[in-house]
């Protein structure tokens, strides 16, 4: 048992940050090994296999003022979870600054499995980035009538082209309240996990902005298909989504 624990710990730590006992236990369970979290925690402490964490840094803000007729009410009210996929979507933009060069990540997260449905990485936070992200999401998810799509009040989400695209697909737009960051906790939670595990403290491992972009793409694949989550019953994001689709 301890050899498998060490192997899982080493494999994840070699790519991202050292996992805690909960994640290691979830991987063991997914492999069919029945062991309690308490046992895994005890063994990891015994062999000095400690999880790693680092504090988040300042976030990127896309807010540049408001057009009153384009501000939408908060329809989510911090009830972030959805029982079924494609009922609640969330989006935001985060910035990566690598030695003065910047990347901007714009993803869509589903409120059911917390999986990344679509994303776009750009050298600047522009409207084309957001619209390309939407097009990719719509191709894979054509039936979206009744979906609520939540964001902050960033200028991209107030743009008429963006808002019309949602209307054309039967999507109801939701926005967080002004200056109320907890309304966007689900997105901020993902960005925090992403940067803690593959960016903060590891900036020197990326030779340039292109390497960082490829690392973000690989991480999102890992996040969707390999990274387990306690709130999802120890499943990966995609496993939970697929299970919910057939339930």
**Is the CB of residue 75 less than 8 Å from the CB of residue 171?**
no
The confidence score (pLDDT) of residue 100 equals 96
pLDDT at position 61, please? 60
Give percent helix, percent strand, percent coil of the chain, each to the nearest 5. 45, 15, 40
Measured in residues, the chain has a length of 247
pLDDT at site 57: 55
pTM: predicted TM-score of the whole model, two decimal places: 0.79
Nearest C-alpha neighbor of 7 from the set 52, 53, 43: 43
Per-residue confidence (pLDDT) for residue 62, from 0 to 100: 62
Q: Are 162 and 91 contacting, i.e. CB atoms less than 8 angstroms apart?
A: no
Walk along the chain (247 residues) and give the pLDDT tens digit of each residue: 788 887 777 877 777 677 788 778 887 777 787 888 888 888 888 777 877 655 555 566 665 666 778 999 999 999 999 999 999 999 999 999 999 999 999 999 999 999 999 999 999 999 999 999 999 999 999 889 999 999 999 999 999 999 999 999 999 999 999 878 788 899 999 999 999 999 999 999 999 999 999 999 999 999 999 998 888 888 998 899 888 887 6
Among 114, 111, 151, CA closest to 134: 151
Radius of gyration of the chain (CA): 19
Q: Is the dihedral of CA 21, 22, 26, 27 positive or negative?
A: negative
Pairing state between β 235-236 and 228-229? antiparallel
């Amino acid at each position: 048992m301890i050899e498998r624990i060490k192997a899982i710990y080493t494999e994840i730590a070699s790519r991202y940050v050292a996992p805690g006992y909960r994640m290691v236990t979830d991987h063991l369970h997914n492999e069919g090994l029945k062991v309690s979290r308490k046992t895994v925690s005890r063994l990891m402490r015994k062999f000095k296999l400690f999880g790693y964490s680092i504090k988040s840094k300042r976030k990127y803000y896309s807010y540049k003022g408001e057009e009153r007729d384009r501000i939408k009410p908060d329809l989510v009210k911090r009830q972030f979870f959805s029982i079924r996929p494609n009922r609640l979507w969330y989006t935001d933009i985060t910035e990566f600054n690598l030695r003065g060069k910047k990347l901007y990540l714009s993803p869509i997260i589903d409120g059911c499995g917390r999986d990344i449905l679509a994303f776009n990485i750009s050298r600047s936070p522009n409207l084309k980035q957001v619209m390309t992200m939407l097009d990719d999401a719509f191709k894979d998810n054509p039936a979206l009538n009744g979906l609520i799509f939540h964001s902050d009040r960033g200028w991209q989400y107030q743009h008429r082209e963006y808002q019309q695209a949602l209307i054309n697909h039967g999507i109801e737009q939701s926005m967080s309240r002004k200056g109320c960051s907890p309304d966007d906790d689900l997105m901020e939670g993902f960005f925090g996990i992403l940067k803690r595990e593959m960016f903060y403290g590891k900036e020197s491992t990326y030779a340039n902005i292109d390497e960082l972009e490829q690392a973000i793409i690989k991480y999102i694949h890992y996040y969707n298909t390999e990274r387990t989550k306690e709130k999802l019953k120890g499943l990966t994001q995609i496993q939970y989504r697929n299970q919910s689709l057939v339930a």
